[in-house]
Structure 1
Amino acid sequence: MDLGTGPMMAAEYQARRQRLLPPEEPSAPVLLVGTHNAVAARIAEEAGFDGCWVSSLEISATKGIPDRNLLGAKEMIDVAQTIRSATTLPVVVDCDNGYGTDLAAARVARELHLSGVTGMCIEDSAFPKRNSLIKSVDRSLESREAFAGRVARARAATGDDFVIVARTEALIAGLPLDDAIDRAQSYAEAGADIVVVHSNGGEVDDLWEIAKKWTGPARLASIPTAYTDVTLDELGHAGYGMVVYANHLLRGALATMTRLAAQLRRGGQLSALTGLAPIQEVLRLSGEPGVAAA
């Protein structure tokens, strides 16, 4: 595996970018999964995913803090570098709203790019953001023009081989569908490679209407966390070029840890525990088999 000991050569940047943005439209969506640490990234790669998504919700949760712009850029860069070093997959980092200013967004884009990360996602929530899946809070957005400027600033800081995903929270803020699509169009024209019109569980028909109306220069992505019955094939046929399963590996790990913690607290024989990976699997995923060769 690439050990990530410095900025990658331009050819490698391009190779990873093309895994997220193939020169021709793929027959199925490019598929990313949330990876909150290096082990999750290696599992994702072995499972056949196309890329890693470093979710601000997942990283906030692992640090025991709410997903409310409390993570700093340096924290996310450090996690992203660890993950990037553990996998050959492209890594895309969820950078909230770019940490509140155009200069902050441009700086984190440049730092991620120099560290070998393939791309970043920024959203048009006003600072401080609220997690998209919380439905009981008031939300405000940056103006369309201001956020398009932020996308353009990040693009200018990195050049064309860094992937920029622009996400609009317009539907979550209660704006009409056409307004959400207009925002996404502006962000694509400002330099985003991929756009997400995000939703936290409205009408599933919105997913199909967005794809039907999309004419922008960027590819369309979906983060279908709230649409649990929608399939990858359906999203691909509708026109989505990328699908992100943003938080499911962490949620699965939490469910297993909760169950095992209760079993361990009750005592008894360790041999009675169910659902444990063998210790040799822990050693393998941590890189132990390659130590002698290294």
Structure 2
Amino acid sequence: MTGAERVPPTATRRLRELFEGPRIIRAIGAHDALGARLGERTGFDAIWSSGLEISASHGVPDADILTMGELLNAARWIADAVRIPVIADCDTGYGNASNVVYMTRRYEAAGIAAVCIEDKPFPKLNSFIPGRQRLVPISEFTGKIRAATDARSDPDFMVIARVEAMVAGLGLEEATRRAHAYADAGADAVLVHAKGASPQPALDFLAAWDRPTPVVVVPTTYYRVSAAELEAAGASMVIYANHGLRAGVRAVTDAFSEIRRTGSTESIEDKIAPLSTIFDLQGVSHLRQHEDSYMRTGGDVHAVVAVIDGLTPAPPSHDRRALAESQVRNLRLGGAQQVSLVLGPGAGLATEAEARVLAWDETWSTELDAVLRACSDDDQVVLVAAADTLYDPELVRRLAAHPGDIVLAVHTPRPGESGLDPALLPVAFGPPEQDGFDMTSAERVVALGSPAAESGSAFIGLVRFTRKGLDVLRDVHARMPFARTMADALAAAAAEGNHVSGMEFTCGWSRLSASGAPTLATR
């Protein structure tokens, strides 16, 4: 196997390699997947699944109040979100040596690269909280270390022993004595903890350390010391254990206070992450890739609405926005994954609808040209809808599901219904044909326009195209520049013998006249 074909190392192996490397490892604390991704993106080598941060995110003290399952679940989400190794802060191991065996197996199975346990009794108290900071006997803790190392199935999975002697006020000598015992018991690294403002206790420990076992430091309170200084002193890893949480608390408090003070978010918009960044961190781009790769079954629907004054009877401008929003809503409810609104020259449309709005381009010459430009080569199914008509979602759904390449939604009058709206295009059907799909739900259209005036049926402005159907439309557009509208092109396509189908509906739509009044009820 060549170097180019080498299988990427697992997270556990990668952490081992980092400890075997020449430079200090930089780890950042996180309590959820989002924080872990931020740490990875900013260049940290590893993530510390912080017991303090996870406890705080649940609104409880870091005092073994959360269960192992709750802390494990948070660590699992973190490990799933990043490719860099995750080190789990496992407090005291959640009990005695038997608990540590269970804990080790569960964390290793969850994809964690290392667990860190500390030499305090269960339940512990966070090292920075004033009060009891008692330690367990060395013999008890070395038993936990042996239990953890024996329980792992992957020899690269690391067990880090956290030494709390200096936090408990017992000094450098006791810290060194305990660290030696823990290394001798099989710990893969020792984490020496201190909580004074000076880095000197940690530096003194590093100076006295005479074993090959790597040393990890956590400069939470002696924050002026740099990673380079710690590396020069012999530290193998530095953990910034809770800074993401603390930075977030300050930033969120400031943002909330400003919103409460001003009554809007205007003054903070340039200080907070845009939604696009959140979507990026969530992996929306991967979601889109998955949809494109695995979910394109021919049923994806792109609906295009041409809001073009002069080419179709347009409602008053104050009604157009409400109509467009209703159109977008109904088209989406009918199965359209994307809706595009194509605006005519100078036609503004201030809408909150979830749609792509395309302003008129000077290179577009006709309504048909604009509609075709709105379509993509990736579109599987395209619905083109009239700008002045509202369609019931069920009508949209039924038309979109039809397998034909070009299928018109056609209104067939009910018994006793008065004559057709003169603004609609009459449709004439030919004899049914068996061409591989159910002809009981659609008939072949042979003519649109004045020759079909006696048919009693009419095109209601909604048509379905497959990619093959769009190719027919593009061909008509290229050869017949006089085909200005969708109706012109459809009439030409039918007249040339292309298979254009008509799906009949007696209700499910309403068209607005120039006055804004509906001309046909949806009952």
Fold-level similarity (TM above 0.5): yes
Asked if structure 1 preserves the Cα contact closer than 8 Å seen for 2:163 and 2:193, the reply is yes
In the TM superposition, residue 24 of structure 1 has moved relative to its aligned partner by 7.2
Separation of aligned partners in 1, 2:18 and 2:85? 16
Separation of aligned partners in 1, 2:230 and 2:134? 28
Specify the alignment match of 1:282 in structure 2.
Answer: 278
Specify the alignment match of 1:213 in structure 2.
Answer: 208
Specify the alignment match of 2:244 in structure 1.
Answer: 249
SS at match of 1:148: helix
Separation of aligned partners in 2, 1:23 and 1:266? 48
SS at match of 1:226: coil
Is it true that 1:68 corresponds to 2:63 in the alignment?
Answer: yes
SS at match of 1:244: strand
Specify the alignment match of 1:292 in structure 2.
Answer: 288
Separation of aligned partners in 2, 1:108 and 1:14? 24
In the TM superposition, residue 25 of structure 1 has moved relative to its aligned partner by 4.5
SS at match of 1:107: helix
In the TM superposition, residue 75 of structure 1 has moved relative to its aligned partner by 0.7
Structure 1's 255 and 24: CA in aligned 2 closer, same or farther, altered over 3 A?
closer
> Could you tell me which of 136, 142, 149 is aligned with 2:136?
142
Asked if structure 1 preserves the Cα contact closer than 8 Å seen for 2:216 and 2:235, the reply is yes
Separation of aligned partners in 1, 2:282 and 2:53? 20
Asked if structure 2 preserves the Cα contact closer than 8 Å seen for 1:28 and 1:233, the reply is no
Is it true that 1:19 corresponds to 2:14 in the alignment?
Answer: yes
Q: How does 1:80-159 map to 2 (within 5 A)?
A: 80-134=75-129, 136-159=130-153
Separation of aligned partners in 1, 2:108 and 2:9? 12
Separation of aligned partners in 1, 2:185 and 2:8? 22
Separation of aligned partners in 1, 2:201 and 2:261? 47
Specify the alignment match of 2:421 in structure 1.
Answer: none
Query: Identity of counterpart residues, as a percentage?
Result: 36
Separation of aligned partners in 2, 1:217 and 1:198? 19
Asked if structure 2 preserves the Cα contact closer than 8 Å seen for 1:13 and 1:161, the reply is no
Give the structure with higher Rg (CA): 2
SS at match of 1:100: coil
Aligned residues: 283
In the TM superposition, residue 190 of structure 1 has moved relative to its aligned partner by 1.1
Specify the alignment match of 2:510 in structure 1.
Answer: none
**Which one-letter code corresponds to 2:132 in the other structure?**
D
Runs of 4+ residues deviating >4 angstroms: 11-14
SS at match of 1:81: helix
Asked if structure 2 preserves the Cα contact closer than 8 Å seen for 1:164 and 1:194, the reply is yes
Structure 2: stretches of 5+ with no match in the other structure: 1-5, 291-523
Separation of aligned partners in 2, 1:106 and 1:14? 25
More helix by share: 1
**Which one-letter code corresponds to 1:248 in the other structure?**
H
**Which one-letter code corresponds to 2:109 in the other structure?**
L
Structure 1's 249 and 12: CA in aligned 2 closer, same or farther, altered over 3 A?
farther
Is it true that 1:165 corresponds to 2:154 in the alignment?
Answer: no
Higher relative contact order (CA closer than 8 Å, sequence separation 6+): 1
User: How far does the alpha carbon of each residue in 1:129-160 deviate from its partner, in whole angstroms, 9 at most, with x for none?
Assistant: 111112x2022111011101101101100042
**Which one-letter code corresponds to 1:141 in the other structure?**
L
Separation of aligned partners in 2, 1:108 and 1:156? 12
Structure 1: stretches of 5+ with no match in the other structure: 1-10
Specify the alignment match of 2:185 in structure 1.
Answer: 190
> Normalised by the size of structure 1, how large is the TM-score?
0.92
Separation of aligned partners in 2, 1:271 and 1:227? 38
More strand by share: 2
In the TM superposition, residue 127 of structure 1 has moved relative to its aligned partner by 1.5
SS at match of 2:99: helix
Structure 1's 199 and 23: CA in aligned 2 closer, same or farther, altered over 3 A?
closer
Structure 1's 12 and 210: CA in aligned 2 closer, same or farther, altered over 3 A?
farther
